[in-house]
Amino acid sequence: MTVARVEVAKTLKLYINGAFPRSESGRTIAVKDAKGRVVAHASHASRKDLRDAVEAANAAQPKWAAATAYNRGQVLYRVAEMLEARRGEFITLITSIEGRSSADAAREVDHAIDRAVCFAGWTDKIAAVLGGKQPVAGPYFVFTMPEATGTVAVVVPDRTPLLSMLSLMLPALAAGNAVIVIAPMSNTPLAAALGEALATSDVPAGIVNILTGVRAELAPWIASHRDIAAISGAFLSEKDAMALELGCAENLKRVQIFRDAPAFEDDAFWHSPFVMTPFIELKTVWHPSAL
Amino acid sequence: MTIAPFEYAPAPESVRPLLAPSYGLFIGGEFVPARSGKSFATINPATEEAIAQVADAGEADVARAVEAARKALPAWSKTKPAERAKLLFRVARRLQERSRELAVLESMNCGKPIRESRDEDLPLVVQHFFHHAGWCDKLAYAFAGASAAPVGVCAQIIPWNFPLLMAAWKLAPALACGNTCILKPAETTPMTALILAEVLQECGMPNGVVNVLTGGPLTGRALVARAGKGPSKGIDKIAFTGSTEVGKAIARACAGTGTKLTLELGGKSPNIVFADAALDQAVEGVVSGIWFNQGEVCCAGSRLFVEESIHDDFIERLKNRMKTLRVGNPLDKNTDVGAINSRAQLQTIERYIEAGTAEGAECFTVPCALPAKGFWCAPRMFTGVQPSHTIAREEIFGPVLSVMTFRTPDEAVQRANNTTYGLSAGVWTEKGARALEMANRLSAGVVWLNTFNRFDASAPFGGYRESGFGREGGRQGLLSYVSLGHGAASSTKAPSVVKSVKRSTSAKSVTAAKSASTAKRSTKNKGAKR
């Protein structure tokens, strides 16, 4: 008897600096589908993978921040285009791995794509909304402008993994930061698929890095890494939140753990400019305006 | 015929503040002694004479202050914004009326020249209250579509270099946003904060809205230990200005407590002079950059980068200008450089000066007669400084300038940014595009182009990197003192989304759920608009 066609299973890897390496540690995690069958093995990112991602992110970030806001907007819009193209794949992964209905999955994927469109439109409006010209009491021309903070570690909760990843990474990206996404373990194939979508978009290598790993294991290393400028997270365990918040005491990392925020489905909150402010530095520039 | 050298006649300020021999803690609208009965003498650093005896707050006093601030919060946060505004406007006016007296007291307790406390500190203090008074009833327009509620009880720990100004920077925005406050002035400079408490009382500020705890590091620690929610906690927000080391310790204490935190910390700010600068103006900028307030300024331009081609000429001009700086009695209107704030700080500065010489930099100073009593340090300029030298890397917080050179704008940017700090930066050039390019590339929260050490209540101030986060001043500064609401955001905690989604199985129920949630949201939005 002949064997029916064997499906070509995907090797799930990390996404670092625009490439797809395996974890340097050689570790993997079995990926089970909703029925408990092992369907693949995902890379289990280590501290050294984190270090590689930080290096890549910091090397790429200044150019991304220096790109025009219009350009960053188009690049993020291209992300939405790439996500839309893979809509079916995302839905399939959500239903097969998480056991949710395809209608639920579709709703999440659509919301994630629409969020990318929203932030594509934010890039060239941040300065108008958060910056300004100050009417100081003296002969000076003074203005305040937003700038990126640097490299942001984005620690994603397990719920609605695609929407979570995008909701947390887009605000940092729109503001000109590079991100290292610690993807939720609830759906590692989805994280890998997002990496592939981004690799085929116009996001420069190193600006988005995606690590599949254990949050509790990576959190202390994220907190203590001196080349990470900020941390973003939401709906984490208090233990993980605390470990990450200690990063502030290390090198004054800007740490924003959304605890009491509304769910990611809430556009009023998650599309507001104030999800970007923790990853924005304000620079105030003075110049005499009288001789 | 020889001309006698020009001498200044002494011109001491004649106003004397009316002071009590001792001051209690200001808690719940009254001055009370510390529970422990402890107090300490606060001195004039220029004479080492005691000014008054002040209470030393301990844990029990911190608990009392937190209780008073919590008790005052509901009424104060619900006071009509326009009424809060009138109180703050009145405070600004009253401070204006008492500003001569307060300037003198500031110089007495802090050591800074009266010219600075009179012309810089006090006007800014008043402006800060006046500016923020106007924000009270305009918060609904300040945050792009979000509504603003007070954060709650704010602990505000401030340094000794601009005692009253820092108090104003902290209190004015916090009060405008409807918070109640516990202000902890620095150990060595409690006086003007206590008089400010008197002024607030005179103006009818409700009891407990502002509390002032004088004391040392232990008081600060006891205050920080109460960060968070719960019966033994009660502080919702901490704002700290001071050293990076203490800032990090506060961040560690606040981790996991959900406390809102803003930090304005140290600096090692660059002042960059290009060959095409207006050199005499640049000299004045360098002087005000490093010798303003004896260099005891977090944003002091303590690293001077001079374009190599003009180094010798510029240093010569700077030396000549240094010869005209008058060091001495802070209350003399001719004084440029006053007393160092404390013996401990003087010793720190002296250690850095020794390190500078020991590591091979060349020290220039103008010999001058210093008073026998008090803490004094004549201005110092080190040339031939290497980036690896201690005096090029660490914040000295004293009148010590480290001079280095550069050849190209790229090198200037790279060397200027080569620090863990990022508070301020100065650039001197007559070329507009170069000035703006430098402004773009320097990692600092404030960039002064062809000026230095300018401040304004409407202009945000704060750091990049290890100089802290959060801004003070202007609309951007208000963000530190509000809790934002975004339509639905204020009312719901995140539900467990996966579960709720699982329940709706048919397409029909999904649509129904969607329209229900849309309806719910639109009502909430209406609520937010009200």
pLDDT digits (tens, 9 = 90+) for B245-261: 999 999 999 999 999 99
pLDDT digits (tens, 9 = 90+) for B177-215: 999 999 999 999 999 999 999 999 999 999 999 999 999
Tell which residue, B339, B317, B322, B342, has the closest CA to residue B330: B339
Q: Which one of B251, B446, B459 has the shortest CB-CB distance to A136?
A: B459
**What residues of B act catalytically?**
264, 298
- Please indicate whether, in this complex, the C-beta atoms of B454 and A286 are within 8 angstroms of each other: yes
Q: Is the pLDDT of residue B523 over 60?
A: no
* List of chain B residues whose C-beta atoms are within 8 Å of the C-beta of residue A282: 445, 460, 462, 471, 476
Q: d(Cα A74, Cα A72) in Å, to the nearest integer?
A: 5
Q: For residue A20, is it within any domain?
A: no
Higher-pLDDT residue of A141, B9: A141
Ramachandran area for residue B91 (φ above 0: left; ψ -120 to 50: alpha; else beta): alpha
Q: Is the pLDDT of residue B487 over 50?
A: yes
Question: Under 8 Å CB-to-CB from B66, ≥6 apart: which residues?
Answer: B153, B182, B226, B234, B235
- Please indicate whether, in this complex, the C-beta atoms of B489 and A261 are within 8 angstroms of each other: yes
What residue of A is the nearest CA neighbor of B491?
Answer: A262
- Please indicate whether, in this complex, the C-beta atoms of B488 and A268 are within 8 angstroms of each other: yes
User: A with B: how many residue pairs have Cβ under 8 Å apart?
Assistant: 176
Q: What is the pLDDT of residue A185?
A: 87
> Mean pLDDT over all residues of chain B?
92
A261 touches chain B (CB under 8 A): yes
Q: For residue A267, is it within any domain?
A: yes
Q: For residue A254, is it within any domain?
A: yes
CA distance to partner chain A, nearest, from residue B71 (Å): 25
Query: What is the pTM (predicted TM-score) of this model?
Result: 0.93
Enclosing H/E stretch for B54? strand B50-55
Question: Under 8 Å CB-to-CB from A106, ≥6 apart: which residues?
Answer: A87, A91
Q: What is the pLDDT of residue B427?
A: 98
Q: What is the pLDDT of residue B8?
A: 82
For residue A6, the 8-state DSSP code is P
Domain that holds residue A87: 28-288
Q: Which one of B252, B451, B525 has the shortest CB-CB distance to A286?
A: B451
CB of B397 within 8 A of CB of B295?
yes
- Chain A, window 42-61: residues with a beta carbon less than 8 angstroms from a chain B beta carbon: none
> Both tokens of residue B96?
């204006």
A288 touches chain B (CB under 8 A): yes
Q: d(Cα A150, Cα B151) in Å, to the nearest integer?
A: 28
Q: Give all domains of chain B, ordered by start, each with its CATH number.
A: 22-264+475-480 (3.40.605.10), 270-457 (3.40.309.10)
Q: What is the pLDDT of residue B521?
A: 40
- Please indicate whether, in this complex, the C-beta atoms of A284 and B521 are within 8 angstroms of each other: no
pLDDT digits (tens, 9 = 90+) for A239-269: 999 999 999 999 999 999 999 999 999 999 9
AA letter at B256: G
Give the mean pLDDT of B108-127.
Answer: 98
Q: For residue A2, is it within any domain?
A: no
Q: What is the pLDDT of residue B5?
A: 65
pLDDT digits (tens, 9 = 90+) for A171-185: 999 999 999 999 988
> Both tokens of residue B386?
């290497």
- Please indicate whether, in this complex, the C-beta atoms of B248 and A235 are within 8 angstroms of each other: no
Q: Which one of B445, B465, B502 has the shortest CB-CB distance to A283?
A: B445
AA letter at B341: N
> Both tokens of residue B479?
């963000």
* List of chain A residues whose C-beta atoms are within 8 Å of the C-beta of residue B476: 130, 132, 144, 282
- Let me know if B432 is exposed, middle or buried by CB neighbors in 10 A (0-12, 13-18, 19+): exposed
Lowest mean pLDDT among A147-151, B4-8, B47-51, B130-134: B4-8
- Chain A, window 170-209: residues with a beta carbon less than 8 angstroms from a chain B beta carbon: none
* Number of folded domains that form chain A: 1
Q: What is the pLDDT of residue A3?
A: 86
Percent of chain B surpassing pLDDT 70: 91
Q: For residue A17, is it within any domain?
A: no
Q: For residue A16, is it within any domain?
A: no
Lowest mean pLDDT among B3-7, B258-262, B352-356: B3-7
pLDDT digits (tens, 9 = 90+) for B62-73: 999 999 999 999
- Please indicate whether, in this complex, the C-beta atoms of B447 and A283 are within 8 angstroms of each other: yes
- Please indicate whether, in this complex, the C-beta atoms of A282 and B460 are within 8 angstroms of each other: yes
Give the mean pLDDT of A91-100.
Answer: 97
pLDDT band at residue A286, thresholds of 50, 70 and 90? very high
CB of B422 within 8 A of CB of B466?
yes
For residue A286, CA distances in Å to A135, B296, B444 come to 11, 21, 12
Give the mean pLDDT of A13-20.
Answer: 98
We report the CATH number of the domain holding residue A38 as 3.40.605.10
Q: What is the pLDDT of residue B2?
A: 62
Q: Is the pLDDT of residue B516 over 80?
A: no
Q: What is the pLDDT of residue B488?
A: 47
> Mean pLDDT over all residues of chain A?
97
For residue B45, the 8-state DSSP code is T
pLDDT digits (tens, 9 = 90+) for B282-340: 999 999 999 999 999 999 999 999 999 999 999 999 999 999 999 999 999 999 999 99
Q: What is the pLDDT of residue A44?
A: 97
- Please indicate whether, in this complex, the C-beta atoms of B465 and A229 are within 8 angstroms of each other: yes
What residue of A is the nearest CA neighbor of B492?
Answer: A262
A235 touches chain B (CB under 8 A): yes
Question: Under 8 Å CB-to-CB from A272, ≥6 apart: which residues?
Answer: B144, B145, B146, B484, B486
- Please indicate whether, in this complex, the C-beta atoms of A159 and B460 are within 8 angstroms of each other: no
- Please indicate whether, in this complex, the C-beta atoms of A286 and B475 are within 8 angstroms of each other: no
Give the mean pLDDT of B10-19.
Answer: 87
Q: Which of A94, A256, A274, A285 to mutate to test the interface with B (most CBs of B within 10 A)?
A: A285
* List of chain B residues whose C-beta atoms are within 8 Å of the C-beta of residue A265: 497, 517
A63 touches chain B (CB under 8 A): no
Ramachandran area for residue B376 (φ above 0: left; ψ -120 to 50: alpha; else beta): beta
Q: Is the pLDDT of residue A58 over 90?
A: yes
Q: What is the pLDDT of residue B16?
A: 82
> Both tokens of residue A83?
């996500």
Q: What is the pLDDT of residue B3?
A: 63
Query: What angle is formed at CA B355 by the lines to CA B374 and CA B158, rounded to 5 degrees?
Result: 50
b/e code A8-19 from CB counts within 10 Å (16+ = b): eeeebbbbbbbe
CA distance to partner chain A, nearest, from residue B484 (Å): 9
Q: How many helices (H) and strands (E) does chain A have?
A: 11, 10
- Please indicate whether, in this complex, the C-beta atoms of A285 and B495 are within 8 angstroms of each other: no
Q: What is the pLDDT of residue A8?
A: 87
Q: What are phi and psi of A237, to 5 degrees?
A: -65, 155
CA distance to partner chain B, nearest, from residue A264 (Å): 8
Q: For residue A94, is it within any domain?
A: yes
Give the mean pLDDT of B162-185.
Answer: 98
Q: What is the pLDDT of residue A256?
A: 97
Q: For residue A11, is it within any domain?
A: no
- Please indicate whether, in this complex, the C-beta atoms of A238 and B256 are within 8 angstroms of each other: yes
Q: Is the pLDDT of residue B355 over 90?
A: yes
CB of B300 within 8 A of CB of B289?
yes
For residue B469, the 8-state DSSP code is E
| Residue A220: count of CB within 10 angstroms of its CB | 15
Q: d(Cα A139, Cα B261) in Å, to the nearest integer?
A: 33
CA distance to partner chain B, nearest, from residue A209 (Å): 22
Range list of H helices, A99-199: 102-122, 126-130, 161-174, 188-199
AA letter at B285: G
- Chain A, window 105-124: residues with a beta carbon less than 8 angstroms from a chain B beta carbon: 107-108
What residue of B is the nearest CA neighbor of A260?
Answer: B493
Enclosing H/E stretch for B406? strand B400-406
A227 touches chain B (CB under 8 A): no
- For this complex, say whether ipTM is above 0.85: yes
pLDDT digits (tens, 9 = 90+) for B430-467: 999 999 999 999 999 999 999 999 999 999 999 999 99
CA distance to partner chain A, nearest, from residue B492 (Å): 6
Tell which residue, B240, B192, B186, has the closest CA to residue B214: B186
Q: What is the pLDDT of residue A10?
A: 87
Q: Is the pLDDT of residue A289 over 80?
A: yes
